[in-house]
Structure 1
Amino acid sequence: MIELKHVNKYYRNDEEELHVLKDINMSVEAGEMIAVMGPSGSGKSTLINTLGFIDTKFDGEYLFEGENLVTSSDDRLSKVRNQIVGFVFQNFSLIENNTVYENVELPLLYNGYGFHETKERVMDALVKVGIADKADKHPKQLSGGQQQRVAIARALINQPSFIIADEPTGALDTHTSTEIMELFRELNRKESATIFLVTHDPEVVPYCDRLISIRDGAIIEDRAVIHE
């Protein structure tokens, strides 16, 4: 589904040139659940921004289902991003004044759906993440774990080709983190969702099928996760 070929990324300023991604080669099949690990400053955020079509200025090739979408116009690229990628963030990034329902509905409205067309899909997404009974609540009325479930439902709503979850358990306690990781694994297995989990928490790795470790801008390890 995804292929990165000799991807290099540089940040240049007047004094120096920073080489932040170094000859990244990566192939991802649909349905994989991948942990992307690395310390702060390792390049994992830049890699994820590249995968998510947020950062498109790099050397090398990014093929999605055999097509180089990065060369598309900005309009097409933002449409592609909205349809192909679902994002889940550590801080949930929910709109406080909107209800749970409205937060999850928003990407559909961006995609051109009318209000009358969204209800079934929104409720279906809320059922999948186990919070259909919270549709009329506002984010501040929910626990951290429930807010993260809203964020996951919002990421799922456009039936994306893959989900990028950036430190999705970073703001959660241990018990809630386990619940959220179980939810990701269920989505991966039942819905065949392709998921990238960006983390520095080794406890996330056993939930995944594959581990990609990145350090100093280079992939230093890419291996299957052995389940006991």
Structure 2
Amino acid sequence: MIDLIGINKYYKNAEETLHVLKDVNLHVAKGEMIAIMGPSGSGKSTLINLLGFIDRKFEGTYLFEGESLVASSDDRLSKVRNQTVGFVFQNFSLIENNTVYENVELPLLYGGYSFSQTKEKVMAALKRVGLEGKEDKYPKQLSGGQQQRVAIARSIINNPKFIIADEPTGALDTHTSEEIMRLFEELNQQDGATIILVTHDPEVVPYCHRLIRIRDGAIIEDKELSKE
């Protein structure tokens, strides 16, 4: 599904050039669940921005399903991003003044659906993440775990080709983190979702098939994990 070949990324300022990704080669197959770990400043965020079609200023080749999208127009890239990638963030990134339903519906509206076409899909997504009956609530009325479930429902609403989860358990307690990771595991095993999970938390790693460690912009380890 995803092939990164010889990726280098530089940030330039007035005084210096920072080499933030160094000769990164990475293959992600459909249906994998991958953990990416590394210390702060290791290049994890840069890597996922690149994978999520947010950043396309890099050297090397990024092939998605065999196609390079780097030269695509901004409009096409936005459309690809909306329909292809689901994003889940540590801080949930929900719109506080919108209901749970409206938060989950938003990517559909961006994708050209009318309000009359969205209800069945939104309700199915909320049911999938265990939030039936919460559609009229606002984010502040929910626990942290429930808010992350809303974010996950929003991330799967367009049946994306892959999900990028950036520290999805970082703001949650241990018990809630386990619940969220079990939900990701279900999405991966039952729905076939491809999941790329960035984390500092070693307890998240056993849920994944593969561990990639990144340090100083380079992949220093890429290993298969045995599932119990």
Secondary structure (helix, strand or coil) at the match of 1:202 reads: coil
Gaps in structure 2 of 5+ consecutive residues:
none
Which residue of 2 is the match for residue 99 of structure 1?
A: 99
Secondary structure (helix, strand or coil) at the match of 1:15 reads: coil
Give the whole-Å Cα distance in 2 for the aligned partners of 1:216 and 1:47.
12
Which residue of 2 is the match for residue 5 of structure 1?
A: 5
Which residue of 1 is the match for residue 67 of structure 2?
A: 67
Which residue of 1 is the match for residue 138 of structure 2?
A: 138
Which residue of 1 is the match for residue 151 of structure 2?
A: 151
The one-letter code of the counterpart of 1:186 is: E
Which residue of 1 is the match for residue 202 of structure 2?
A: 202
Which residue of 2 is the match for residue 33 of structure 1?
A: 33
- Structure 1-normalised TM-score? 0.99
Give the whole-Å Cα distance in 2 for the aligned partners of 1:22 and 1:149.
34
The one-letter code of the counterpart of 1:160 is: P
Which residue of 2 is the match for residue 227 of structure 1?
A: 227
Deviation at 1:2, TM superposition (A): 0.3
1:86 aligns with 2:99: no
Deviation at 1:14, TM superposition (A): 1.9
- Structure 2-normalised TM-score? 0.99
Which residue of 2 is the match for residue 47 of structure 1?
A: 47
- How many residues matched? 228
Deviation at 1:227, TM superposition (A): 2.6
Deviation at 1:69, TM superposition (A): 1.0
Deviation at 1:137, TM superposition (A): 0.6
Give the whole-Å Cα distance in 2 for the aligned partners of 1:45 and 1:65.
22
Secondary structure (helix, strand or coil) at the match of 1:132 reads: coil
Deviation at 1:114, TM superposition (A): 0.3
Give the whole-Å Cα distance in 2 for the aligned partners of 1:131 and 1:226.
32
The one-letter code of the counterpart of 2:150 is: V
The one-letter code of the counterpart of 1:183 is: L
Secondary structure (helix, strand or coil) at the match of 1:71 reads: coil
Deviation at 1:71, TM superposition (A): 1.3
Which residue of 2 is the match for residue 108 of structure 1?
A: 108
Give the whole-Å Cα distance in 2 for the aligned partners of 1:174 and 1:163.
22
Which residue of 1 is the match for residue 128 of structure 2?
A: 128
The one-letter code of the counterpart of 1:137 is: K
RMSD over aligned Cα atoms = 0.6
Moved over 6 A (4+): none
1:173 aligns with 2:165: no
Give the whole-Å Cα distance in 1 for the aligned partners of 2:144 and 2:165.
15
The one-letter code of the counterpart of 1:117 is: Q
Secondary structure (helix, strand or coil) at the match of 1:11 reads: strand
